[in-house]
Amino acid sequence: MFDKTDPAPGTDTADIPVTRRIETDICIVGAGSGGLSVAAGAAQMGARTVLIESHKMGGDCLNYGCVPSKALIASAKQAHAMGTGRPFGVTPAEARVDYAAAKDHVAEVIAGIAPHDSQERFESLGVEVIRDYARFISRQEVQAGGTVVRARRFVIATGSGPLVPPIPGLDAVPYLTNETIFDLRERPGHLVVIGGGNIGIEMAQAHARLGSKVTVIEGARALGKDDPELAALVLDRLRAEGVEIVEGEQVERVTAEGGVTVHTGNRSVTGSHLLVAVGRKVKVDGLGLDKAGVAHDRKGVKVGADLRSKTNRRVYAVGDAAGGLQFTHLAGYHAGIVVRSAVLGLPAKARTDHIPWATYTDPELAQVGLTEAEARKRHGARLTVVRAAYAENDRARAEGRTDGLLKVMVVRGRPVGASMAGPMAGELIGTWAMAIANGMKMQAISGTVLPYPTMGEIHKRAAGAYFGPKLFESDLVKRVVRLVQRWLP
C-alpha cells in the first residue's frame, strides 16, 4: 500500500519532462468534499480554476467513507428490523442476508452520487481538471505529470486515509481498512475490529446485523471522544446485539493462526477477517511542501484561523489537511471560508465551536460544541446542564424507541454544547448546531412551535428543563403572580 496522494513508487517529478505550463488564479490539490466545493465556487464566480486529483473524484467520503458506510448501515438496519417486530404485533422472521447484494446496494448509491462529483461536471463549470499526482516544485508552482501550474493561490485539500499502526505481524496477514472493506463480497464469519472509534463501531454493528460475529478491541475507551454517559447507551445496545467490545486492551501483535489472531496482553481473538480502524493519517507526504515553504507536521498543514499556511500566504488548506477535526462537513465549511478569502478577497476566519459530528449507529450518537466534562472545566459554576430523555417524548414512545438522552450545556442562557444519543440524533443535533452558530438563547428554542408528535420536541423539553426551575421554583415569581392576580380585573 502507498498513500494515494504520493506519486507512485519510483516516480519523481524531476524525471517527468514538462510539456505544458498553465497560469491560473486558484489551483486546488485534491477532489474530495473540500476541494470540489472550492473549485465549484471559484469557477462559477469567474476565477480561473485548476483542480488536480490523482485518484477518484469525490475523495474518501464518496468512495470509502460517509456514503458507502451509511449505505451498508441501511442494509443492516433492514435486516435487523425483520427480527425485532414483536413489540409492534409483527411476528419476527429470520433475515436471509445476501451480503454481496448488500454491497451492490453500496455500489449503486455511490454510482448515483458520483456524477455530481465527476470530472465532466466540473469541466462543465469551467474547471480545468488534471488527473495526476501533484507535487510543489516552488512556492508558486505545482507539477502534475508533464504539466506545471503556476497559481496566485493554492488550496491543499488532500484529505486523509486510514492509519495503519506498526503492530508486529500486521504486515504478514491480510487486513481490511475503510478503503477495502466495501469491496468485500463474502460476509465475514468473524470480523475482528481493531479500534473502537466511530468507523470501527459503525462497521461492527452493521456486520453483526448482517450476520457476522464481531469483536471490537479498543486500547482505551470505545467512542472515547464522546460523552461517556451517552456513549455507554450505544455500546450497551451493541453488546445486546451480540457485539463483543473489549476496552482497555492494547494490541501487541497479530498472527495468522486459524485465520487472523489478534493478541493483547490478556487475551487472543481469532477471526476470519480483520478490520483496522484506529484512526486517520493526513495525506501531506509526497506533496513537496518543503519546496513550497509550507510548514506542516503529521497532523497537516500549519494554518491560522484564516486557513492560510503560516509560512506561505499563497497556500490554503481545508478539511483534514488543515490539521483539525476530520469531518466531510467541516471540509465543506472550510471551502466557504477559502472562497470568501481567496476568491472575493474578503476577511474570513474558521471556527470550530459550532461544528457537529455524529456516529451512525443505532441509536445514533451526536455532539456539537462542548461536552459536559469540557463545559464544566471551562465554565465551572456558571454552567447549567439540562437533560431530556427520549422516554419523555411521545413520538419516541409511539415508535418504541425510548432509549436515548439529550444533554444541553448552557451558560448565561446560551447553549455552548449539546450531546445526544438516540434515534435520529444525527438529524436532531442540527438544532443545537444552528443555535450555537448564531449565538441564540434558550428562549429561541422554547419559543419555537413544533408539530406534535415529533422527535424534535425533545429540544423544547430541554428548554423547559432549563426554564422550569426559574419559573416554577422561584418564590419571587410566585409573589409577583399573586400580586398580578390580585390586580387583574
The binding site consists of: 70, 158-160, 195-202, 218, 279, 320
10 Å CB burial of residue 88 (0-12, 13-18, 19+) is exposed
The candidate with the shortest Cα–Cα distance to 27, out of 331, 314, 301, 332, is 314
User: Which parts are annotated binding residues for NAD(+)?
Assistant: 195-202, 218, 279
The candidate with the shortest Cα–Cα distance to 201, out of 237, 248, 249, is 237
Calpha distance 259→49 (Å, rounded): 50
Calpha distance 114→131 (Å, rounded): 16
Calpha distance 48→44 (Å, rounded): 9
10 Å CB burial of residue 398 (0-12, 13-18, 19+) is exposed
DSSP assigned state of 241: T
Alpha-carbon 57 to chain mean position: 19
10 Å CB burial of residue 347 (0-12, 13-18, 19+) is exposed
Q: Name residue 21's beta-bridge partners.
A: 148
User: Which parts are annotated binding residues for FAD?
Assistant: 70, 158-160, 320
DSSP assigned state of 31: -
Helices (H), 217-297: 228-240
Instruction: Give the contacts of 8 (CB within 8 A, at least 6 positions apart).
Output: 2, 133
* H/E element, 145: none
Cis peptide before 174 (omega within 30 of 0): no
What share of residues in the chain are helix, strand, coil (percent, to 5)? Answer: 35, 25, 40
The candidate with the shortest Cα–Cα distance to 306, out of 352, 347, 353, 354, is 347
Q: Which residue type sits at 229?
A: E
C-alpha cell at 66: 460517509
Calpha distance 147→24 (Å, rounded): 13
10 Å CB burial of residue 220 (0-12, 13-18, 19+) is exposed
Q: Tell me the CA distances in angstroms from 132 to 240, 330, 386, one per residue in order.
A: 47, 25, 52
The candidate with the shortest Cα–Cα distance to 48, out of 119, 120, 125, is 125
Calpha distance 318→279 (Å, rounded): 19
